[in-house]
């Protein structure tokens, strides 16, 4: 008897180890996740995965803060954007901010650790580090133009990053340029859909310089992308609306059927087509129905069954249809390069060349072409052209703010508009959790 | 054989020899009960100081061989006074047992051992099967409501088989579980939800798989002296449940049937079509829009007037049938039972049914070795309904849906998306949402144990037990193309949406306990030592399909796209050694000490093991000579205890910094998913308890008062950090929460004649306070509001504190809400949040009264809670001042400000205005209530009337639950918790199905 118990006790002690040290199943411990050459490509893909989270909130910021859409649902975050009663507690604000800093963290951890990992070929290191710098740069570019001054996080140090004050917008933008420039030298010039390459970086630099009003550089980078001949305009505008990775797509965030964001409150298909939390505004409809817009009215669809009360029955078509949802989000495409170059050229008084760039898009849209008139008129033409072409791709609000047109356009759109809305607020949760941000809310919120 | 075994043998031989030296005889007799002279089967008759003994047969007769002359016979039976009789030269000894005059000698299961109530040092509450037997409940924790001091139990909703929050002496934790440990027949069972699927805040309840009728007793362990033996799992208290076991003697059959009806305690009433239309037109005009143009036309819009609440509710039917048999010989005893329960919910198409069987066996193989099993097998089918915070929830949809639409077309067909006349987003037809989807959860629970007990010496025994709690849930779900998910939201379903998932949660536990009991003169001691190993495994998988050819094909085999699925496995374990020593001197001074050494897989290397000691003492003043003159005093004791317990119930692998798979564009990579905390350790609660217990006038009055102070350190909670760190939260392990409180319970026998009236009252006050957080920044929880979240965790405030704008009324001039400008900056914004209430009651408790006369009994349980507030969060939509015209409004909206000079607390309605409906103290209400929880009228039919049918007893009874509620709360029911199971975000009412009122009749027959 006693021996049996002895064996039992002994077996119990033996069983201690598997009981107390089970293996994690679907997560990897930090120290083994990134420690040899094979881990680097998966970490690079993971970085894109983190970065992708920024895309939808950027579209929401760029279009829903402006005059492109009104609210039509129950989510407070869209009611606030639609009626221009934006508060620091808006969930979209937190979503964009969080995805920016998640991208920054994911980039920083690679930038910090990868150089020290032995056994990774130098070429692999250089290429992955370039991707990390480019994606970090883009994240800060969006952050600076959305929020103004923002905390500038450069490490993965938890203690430092939970108590970090804002840095000047200019400082942040300097780092964006430095990241872009470094990435441009080292990034691999691949042409796999959904991944960055040299043309993608150049497209980002074209937009960067446009926003900075460095017209010559904006024109130069846009021209480089256009002249690379890697991309060509879709023959029909409908192709831009309906296709994933269309011929003119330069950088696009891909979603496959198995990693679709579904009903998340920032899934664009869900917001624009499923729940229709945001529907195109009547002002936008009027613009897209103009002859100038041509076929770009395909940006919208109409369903008479949905038209009742305040609901105009319109939906956004760029993020898929009801049956085959497509959440791909285009960050850069060739049409934008033409528009950047046109604007840069107008600012440099090259009006005829600018008109030609615009007419490339007009002809594709089967719309009347424009003639070069004066600089002021041409700028308004470009403003409208950007609206027709890039509606719901996250540009409108950023464009109105950088061209100084926000007040005029938005006040006409909503009586609630105020100048403070030219920047988004710092998320309320950040003010509450980060002692260095106490009292540092953007003015007017 | 080693020295120890030799010693054992020597002692054994000595005992044998010694006993043979004495004169021996056979003693027999009959045991009857004093009240009516009826024979008592199953009475234990033993030789004092030995393990020799027999049990009386069905006729109450016993016979015991080899009784020495000097022996003393001990006659004991549960519920009877134990008698000791010196044998002398007698060979026939008849005994009459009288009922225990007090509860003092009642045996209470106190963890790994049992004790008589009078010897208990720790703090316990006991609920017996008698108290819960006739209550028509699905799960056993429901039956505890209002019964025990210091135990706060809140049913989250009126959904049958739904979630319940049990809190013993307050909330000790912010982030880890606050639920007590439930131990059924020695195994830690699953509590909380088993379902994988979120049903809008409401979970299912794993405890609903155990039939309350099979329960012999529930002991709630409250203080450290009692629960430190549960170590790292003990902080939140322990509920020990023992199931019924057989008694030798005649086989007793019992059958019980209950049937009843249920309805909401109070159905909410919303605005009718005309009232709502008037309001919406007013809101539109106030927003400077043309009401006619937006389609709000009197006589047209309000031509249909649907009362959606009535459309989705019905009178539910409750039925339950139990049969059991118990009995056995003096060597083998059994208890067998089977039951069927079926409850139709008050929401249409909601139903839970349960089949359950129990077999408990005990067998004495030899004088030294006995063994036994316990087995419960339960099968539940739960037809669920989406609730609470769901866009397409049924009850929420019924409250929100506009009365302007109808559920059925003129042809009597359910209206669905794409039908003209269908409300459409954000209103879905709640009737269709209830009737069309299939949300079936099939759960199988097996609770099994096998024990062996070996008596090495009369004083020393080893008990080994292997147990398992196995839960298998299969969820079979289909939402047709005419539902919100399956049809209206194409980004999810397209044409039909099906999910099938299975999960298995199993706990394996082995415990080996050595117990030594010795009485020498006035010294009595019990000591136990044990080792225990526990392993819990979670395994789950699910698959999702959509684009079905038609609604006739509802299984994923037929789906056009099967694009989502997953599988998961997780293990966690505990390895422990523990000891518990009790000593008493002359029944006057009692001491106890216990310690447990626990290793948990939830912590990293070097932090895995923890030590949890406790000590307690008790002084029976009434046994002192100087107290002898107080003859009315049966018992008076002072007791005190101190100890440390832990809480390790939070997520696994939190000590690791982790990377997880991240999908991107059809492939997947890895990205950082969490920052670890390698120094993570359990929460440690140190607890001090002081109490006095007294029993007076032969048990006519029992009074217990206890005060306690618990301090929990090293709080485990997801500490919210700024997103600039890359993550929203890290696993925190710092800070301090305290709970102090007082508990009073009083039991009196008011009248004890032909009419017997007993009362018991329990009152508790618990003061909870977050003493310290790891960082200065408060933590926000609950639903998002303009000032952060609905709840705040901050130093100096209790857990469950509400945060928001301070509503100061409605400006009579403008009709707009006035909020306190907390920071005085001249504007109302996100920085003006302040504390606006709290979910913790000041006082809570229950009063039970029982009156019996001849065969009649009337039993009433009243439950009360005083001083707590509730957030009527549903009113942010249902009294929304026009923010959205898509929701119907509660009747309070009729009191809205309409013209200058109106004095009211409801702001004016302006379409699209969000300022007036900002979350504020306007939505915080007094949640105090007094409730007649249970009222039972029973009649035991006279035995002589039924004996010719061979029926030994029969009883009929009528029970009502939640018959009467007094409250000022404007929502439907004050007992509510939308975020089921949440501690930091408790007290929310967000479209939660209110409690139900149930009236049942029952019949119990014993053969």
Minimal C-alpha gap between B78 and chain A (Å): 33
Question: Mean pLDDT of all residues in chain B?
Answer: 85
Ordered per-residue pLDDT tens for chain A, 445 residues: 445 555 455 555 545 666 777 777 666 666 677 778 888 888 899 999 889 999 999 999 999 999 999 998 878 889 899 999 898 889 999 999 999 999 999 999 999 989 888 888 888 899 999 999 999 999 999 999 999 999 999 998 888 998 999 999 999 999 999 999 999 999 988 778 889 999 999 999 999 999 999 999 999 999 999 999 999 999 999 988 888 888 999 999 988 766 766 666 668 888 888 788 899 999 999 999 999 999 999 999 998 878 877 788 899 988 877 556 567 899 999 999 999 999 999 999 999 999 999 999 999 999 999 987 899 999 999 999 999 999 999 999 999 999 999 999 999 999 899 999 999 999 988 998 899 998 899 998 8
Window A:169-198, CB contacts with B under 8 Å: 193-194
Mean pLDDT, residues B680-693 taken together: 88
Q: Does B555 touch chain A (CB under 8 A)?
A: no
- Coil, helix or strand at residue A119: coil
Size of interface A-B (CB pairs under 8 A): 287
SS (H, E, C) B201-212: CCCECHHHHCCH
> Which residue of chain A has the CA closest to B533?
A12
Q: Does B366 touch chain A (CB under 8 A)?
A: no
- Best interface-test mutation with A: which of B512, B566, B569, B722 has the largest number of A CBs within 10 A? B722
> Which residue of chain A has the CA closest to B917?
A76
Tokens found for residue B773: 């957080």
Mean pLDDT, residues B387-408 taken together: 84
Q: Is B700 left (phi over 0), alpha (psi -120 to 50) or beta?
A: alpha
**pLDDT > 50? residue B619:** yes
Residue B740: burial class (beta carbons within 10 Å; 0-12, 13-18, 19+): middle
In this complex, do B659 and A259 lie within 8 Å of one another by their Cβ atoms?
no
Q: Does A112 touch chain B (CB under 8 A)?
A: no
> Which residue of chain A has the CA closest to B671?
A46
Q: Give B-chain residues touching A42 at CB under 8 angstroms.
A: 668-670
Q: Give A-chain residues touching B575 at CB under 8 angstroms.
A: 15-16, 19-20
pLDDT category, B715, cuts 50, 70, 90?
confident
Residue B297: burial class (beta carbons within 10 Å; 0-12, 13-18, 19+): middle
- CB-nearest to B658 from A30, A102, A254 is A30
Q: Give A-chain residues touching B657 at CB under 8 angstroms.
A: 29-31
Provide the pLDDT for residue B25.
Answer: 80
Instruction: Tell me which of B158-172, B627-641, B832-846, B955-969 is least confident.
Output: B158-172
**Angle value at C-alpha B336, between B333 and B338, nearest 5 degrees:** 175
Residue B973: burial class (beta carbons within 10 Å; 0-12, 13-18, 19+): buried
Q: Does A321 touch chain B (CB under 8 A)?
A: yes
Window A:214-253, CB contacts with B under 8 Å: 253
Minimal C-alpha gap between B545 and chain A (Å): 11
Provide the pLDDT for residue B202.
Answer: 66
Residue B288: burial class (beta carbons within 10 Å; 0-12, 13-18, 19+): exposed
Q: Give B-chain residues touching A108 at CB under 8 angstroms.
A: 726
Q: Does A98 touch chain B (CB under 8 A)?
A: yes
Task: Report d(CA A93, CA A107) in Å as an integer.
Answer: 21
Beta bridge partners of B327: B334
Q: Does B543 touch chain A (CB under 8 A)?
A: no
Question: Who's near B278: CB < 8 A, 6+ residues apart?
Answer: none
Provide the pLDDT for residue B524.
Answer: 85
- The answer to whether the CB of B91 falls within 8 A of the CB of B28 is yes
Task: Report d(CA B15, CA A387) in Å as an integer.
Answer: 102
Tell me the per-residue pLDDT of B741-799, one tens digit each, with 9 for 90 and over.
Answer: 999 999 898 888 888 898 999 999 999 998 888 777 788 888 888 888 899 988 899 98
CA atoms within 13 A on the CB side of B717: 30
Task: Report d(CA B522, CA B528) in Å as an integer.
Answer: 20
Q: Give B-chain residues touching A321 at CB under 8 angstroms.
A: 490
Task: Report d(CA B580, CA B718) in Å as an integer.
Answer: 35
- The answer to whether the CB of B540 falls within 8 A of the CB of B567 is yes
Mean pLDDT, residues B277-305 taken together: 87
Provide the pLDDT for residue B302.
Answer: 87
Q: What is the ipTM of this complex?
A: 0.89
Of B555 and B33, the structure prediction assigns the larger pLDDT to B555
B561-585 and B523-546 beta bridge pairing: antiparallel
- Best interface-test mutation with A: which of B664, B793, B804 has the largest number of A CBs within 10 A? B664
Q: Does B373 touch chain A (CB under 8 A)?
A: no
In this complex, do B656 and A24 lie within 8 Å of one another by their Cβ atoms?
yes
- Coil, helix or strand at residue B133: coil
Task: Report d(CA B817, CA B567) in Å as an integer.
Answer: 50
Q: Does B574 touch chain A (CB under 8 A)?
A: yes
In this complex, do A254 and B664 lie within 8 Å of one another by their Cβ atoms?
yes
Beta bridge partners of B85: B73
> Which residue of chain B has the CA closest to A82?
B912
Provide the pLDDT for residue B238.
Answer: 86
pTM over 0.90: no
**pLDDT > 70? residue B12:** no
Question: Who's near B800: CB < 8 A, 6+ residues apart?
Answer: B171, B768, B791, B838, B839, B840, B983, B984, B985, B986, B987
Provide the pLDDT for residue A172.
Answer: 96
Tell me the per-residue pLDDT of B184-239, one tens digit each, with 9 for 90 and over.
Answer: 888 888 887 777 776 665 677 888 888 888 888 888 888 888 888 888 888 888 88
Q: Does A420 touch chain B (CB under 8 A)?
A: no
Q: Give A-chain residues touching B883 at CB under 8 angstroms.
A: 79
In this complex, do B725 and A105 lie within 8 Å of one another by their Cβ atoms?
yes
Provide the pLDDT for residue B423.
Answer: 64
Provide the pLDDT for residue B105.
Answer: 63
In this complex, do B728 and A104 lie within 8 Å of one another by their Cβ atoms?
no
> Which residue of chain B has the CA closest to A440?
B831
Minimal C-alpha gap between B893 and chain A (Å): 19
Minimal C-alpha gap between A118 and chain B (Å): 19
Question: Who's near A312: CB < 8 A, 6+ residues apart?
Answer: A279, A280, A282, A285
Q: Give A-chain residues touching B674 at CB under 8 angstroms.
A: 27
> Which residue of chain A has the CA closest to B918?
A76
Minimal C-alpha gap between B674 and chain A (Å): 9
- Best interface-test mutation with A: which of B297, B457, B529, B724 has the largest number of A CBs within 10 A? B724
Minimal C-alpha gap between A366 and chain B (Å): 32
User: In whole angstroms, how large is the CA radius of gyration of chain A?
Assistant: 24
Task: Report d(CA B863, CA B845) in Å as an integer.
Answer: 6
Of A149 and B98, the structure prediction assigns the larger pLDDT to A149
Window A:141-170, CB contacts with B under 8 Å: 151, 153, 156, 158, 161-162, 164
Angle between helices A169-186 and A122-147 (to 10 degrees): 150
């Amino acid at each position: 008897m006693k021996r049996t118990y002895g064996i039992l006790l002994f077996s119990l002690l033996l069983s201690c180890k598997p009981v107390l040290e089970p293996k994690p199943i679907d997560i990897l411990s930090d120290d083994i996740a990134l420690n040899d050459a094979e881990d680097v490509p998966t970490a690079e893909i993971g970085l894109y995965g983190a970065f992708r989270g920024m895309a939808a909130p950027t579209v929401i910021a760029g279009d829903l803060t402006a005059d492109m859409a009104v609210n039509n649902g129950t989510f407070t975050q869209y009611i606030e954007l639609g009626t221009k009663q934006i508060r620091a507690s808006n969930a979209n604000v937190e979503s964009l901010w969080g995805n920016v800093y998640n991208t920054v963290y994911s980039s920083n951890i690679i930038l910090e650790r990868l150089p020290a990992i032995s056994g990774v070929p130098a070429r692999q290191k250089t290429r992955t580090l370039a991707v990390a710098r480019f994606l970090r740069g883009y994240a800060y570019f969006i952050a600076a133009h959305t929020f103004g001054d923002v905390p500038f996080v450069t490490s993965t140090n938890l203690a430092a990053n939970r108590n970090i004050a804002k840095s000047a917008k200019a400082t942040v933008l300097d780092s964006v340029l430095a990241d872009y420039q470094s990435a441009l030298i080292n990034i691999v010039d691949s042409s796999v859909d959904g991944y960055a390459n040299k043309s993608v970086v150049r497209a980002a630099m074209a937009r960067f310089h446009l926003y900075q009003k460095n017209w010559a550089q904006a024109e130069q980078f846009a021209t480089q992308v256009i002249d690379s001949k890697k991309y060509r305009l879709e023959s029909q505008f409908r192709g831009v609306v309906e296709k994933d990775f269309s011929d003119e797509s330069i950088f696009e965030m891909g979603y496959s059927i198995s990693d679709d964001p579904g009903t998340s409150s920032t899934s664009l298909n869900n917001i624009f087509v499923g729940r229709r939390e945001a529907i195109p505004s009547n002002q936008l409809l009027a613009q897209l129905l103009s002859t100038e817009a041509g076929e770009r009215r395909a940006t919208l669809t109409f369903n008479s069954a949905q038209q009742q009360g305040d609901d105009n029955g319109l939906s956004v078509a760029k993020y898929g249809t009801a049956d085959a949802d497509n959440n791909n989000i285009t960050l850069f495409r060739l049409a934008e390069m033409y528009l950047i170059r046109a604007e840069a050229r107008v600012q440099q008084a090259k009006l005829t060349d600018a008109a030609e760039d615009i007419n490339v898009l007009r002809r594709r849209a089967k719309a009347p072409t424009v003639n070069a008139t004066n600089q002021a008129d041409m700028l308004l033409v470009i403003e409208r052209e950007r609206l027709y072409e890039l509606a719901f791709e996250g540009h409108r609000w950023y464009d109105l703010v950088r061209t100084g047109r926000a007040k005029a356009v938005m006040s006409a759109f909503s009586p609630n508009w105020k100048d403070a809305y030219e920047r988004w607020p710092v998320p309320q949760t950040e003010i509450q959790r980060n002692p260095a941000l106490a009292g540092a809310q953007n003015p007017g919120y | 054989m080693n020295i120890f075994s030799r010693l054992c043998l020597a002692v054994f031989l000595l005992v044998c020899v010694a006993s043979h030296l004495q004169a021996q005889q056979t003693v027999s007799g009959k045991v009857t009960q004093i009240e009516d002279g009826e024979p008592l089967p199953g009475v234990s008759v033993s030789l004092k100081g030995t393990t020799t003994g027999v049990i009386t047969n069905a006729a109450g007769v016993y016979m015991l061989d080899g009784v020495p002359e000097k022996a003393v016979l001990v006659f004991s039976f549960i519920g009877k006074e134990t008698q000791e009789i010196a044998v002398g030269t007698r060979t026939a000894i008849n005994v009459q047992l009288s009922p225990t005059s007090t509860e003092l000698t009642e045996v209470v299961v106190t963890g790994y051992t049992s004790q008589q109530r009078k010897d208990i040092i720790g703090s316990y509450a006991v609920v017996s099967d008698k108290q819960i037997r006739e209550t028509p409940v699905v799960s056993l924790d429901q039956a505890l409501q209002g019964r025990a001091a210091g135990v706060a139990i809140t049913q989250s909703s009126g959904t049958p088989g739904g979630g319940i929050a049990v809190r013993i002496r307050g909330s000790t934790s912010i982030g880890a579980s606050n639920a007590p440990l439930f131990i059924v027949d020695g195994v830690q069972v699953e509590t909380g939800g088993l379902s994988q699927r979120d049903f809008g805040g409401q979970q299912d309840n794993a405890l609903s798989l155990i039939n309350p009728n099979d329960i012999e007793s529930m002991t709630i362990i409250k203080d450290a002296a009692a629960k430190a033996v549960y170590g790292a799992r003990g902080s939140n208290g322990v509920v020990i449940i023992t199931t019924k076991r057989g008694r030798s003697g005649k086989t007793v059959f019992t059958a019980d049937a209950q049937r009843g009806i249920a309805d909401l305690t109070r159905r909410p009433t919303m605005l009718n079509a005309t009232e709502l239309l008037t309001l919406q037109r007013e809101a539109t005009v106030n927003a400077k829009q043309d009401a006619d143009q937006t389609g709000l036309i009197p006589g047209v819009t309000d031509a249909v007037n649907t009362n959606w609440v009535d459309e989705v509710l019905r009178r539910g039917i409750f039925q339950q049938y139990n049969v059991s048999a118990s009995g056995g010989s003096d060597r083998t005893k059994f208890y067998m039972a089977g039951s069927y329960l079926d409850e139709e919910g008050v929401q249409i198409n909601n139903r839970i049914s349960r089949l359950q069987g129990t077999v408990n066996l005990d067998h004495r193989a030899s004088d030294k070795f006995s063994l036994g099993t316990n087995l419960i097998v339960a099968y539940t089918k739960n037809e669920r309904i989406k609730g609470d915070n769901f866009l397409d929830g049924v009850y929420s949809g019924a409250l929100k849906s506009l009365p302007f639409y109808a559920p059925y077309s003129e042809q009597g067909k359910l209206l669905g998306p794409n039908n003209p006349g269908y409300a459409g987003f954000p209103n879905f037809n709640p009737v269709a949402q209830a009737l069309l989807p299939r949300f079936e959860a099939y759960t199988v629970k097996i609770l099994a144990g096998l024990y062996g007990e070996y008596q090495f010496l009369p004083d020393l025994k080893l008990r080994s037990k292997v147990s398992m709690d196995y839960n298998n849930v299969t969820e079979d779900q289909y939402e047709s193309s005419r539902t919100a998910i399956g049809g209206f939201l194409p980004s999810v379903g397209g044409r039909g949406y099906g999910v099938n998932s299975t999960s298995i949660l199993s706990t394996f536990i082995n415990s080996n306990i050595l117990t030594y009991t010795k009485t020498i003169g006035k010294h009595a001691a019990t000591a136990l030592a044990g080792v225990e190993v526990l392993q819990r495994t979670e395994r789950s998988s699910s698959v999702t399909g959509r684009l079905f050819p038609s609604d006739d094909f509802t299984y994923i085999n037929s789906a056009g796209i099967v694009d989502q699925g997953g599988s998961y496995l997780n293990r966690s374990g505990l390895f422990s050694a523990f000891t518990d020593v009790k000593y008493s001197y002359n029944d006057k001074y009692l001491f106890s000490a216990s310690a447990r050494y626990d290793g948990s897989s939830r912590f990293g290397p070097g932090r895995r093991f923890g030590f949890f000691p406790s000590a307690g003492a008790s002084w029976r003043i009434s046994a002192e000579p100087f107290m002898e003159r107080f003859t009315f005093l049966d018992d008076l004791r002072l007791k005190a205890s101190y100890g440390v317990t832990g809480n390790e119930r939070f997520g696994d692998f939190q000590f690791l910094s982790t990377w997880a798979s991240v999908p991107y564009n059809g492939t997947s990579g890895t990205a950082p998913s969490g920052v670890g905390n390698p120094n993570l350790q359990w929460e440690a609660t140190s607890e001090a308890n002081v109490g006095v217990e007294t029993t007076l006038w032969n048990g006519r009055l029992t009074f217990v008062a206890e005060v306690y102070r618990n301090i929990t350190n090293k709080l485990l909670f997801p500490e919210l950090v700024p997103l600039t760190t890359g993550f929203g939260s890290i696993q925190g392990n710092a800070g301090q929460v305290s709970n102090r409180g007082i508990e009073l319970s009083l039991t009196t026998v008011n009248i004890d004649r032909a009419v017997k009236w007993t009362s018991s009252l329990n009152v508790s006050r618990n003061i909870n306070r977050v003493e310290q957080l790891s960082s200065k920044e408060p933590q926000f929880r609950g639903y998002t509001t303009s000032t952060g979240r609905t709840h705040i965790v901050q130093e100096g405030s209790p857990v469950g504190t509400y945060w928001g704008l301070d509503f100061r009324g409605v400006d009579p001039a403008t009709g707009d809400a006035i909020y306190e400008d907390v920071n005085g900056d001249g504007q109302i914004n996100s920085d003006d949040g302040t504390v606006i209430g709290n979910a913790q009651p000041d006082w809570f408790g229950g009063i039970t009264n029982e009156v019996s006369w001849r065969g009649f009994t009337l039993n009433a349980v009243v439950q009360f809670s005083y001083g707590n507030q509730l957030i009527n969060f549903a009113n942010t939509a249902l009294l929304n001042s026009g923010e959205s015209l898509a929701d119907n409004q509660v009747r309070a909206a009729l009191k809205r400000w309409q013209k200058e000079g109106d004095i009211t607390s409801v702001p004016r309605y302006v379409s699209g205005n969000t300022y007036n409906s900002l979350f504020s103290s306007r939505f915080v209400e007094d949640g105090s209530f007094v409730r007649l929880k249970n009222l039972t009228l029973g009649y035991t039919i006279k035995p002589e009337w039924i004996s010719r049918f061979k029926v030994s007893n029969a009883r009929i009874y009528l029970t009502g639950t939640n018959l009467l509620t007094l409250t000022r709360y404007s929502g439907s029911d004050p007992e509510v918790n939308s975020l089921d199971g949440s501690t930091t975000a408790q007290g929310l009412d967000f479209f939660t199905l209110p409690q139900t009122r149930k009236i049942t009749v029952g019949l119990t027959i014993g053969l």
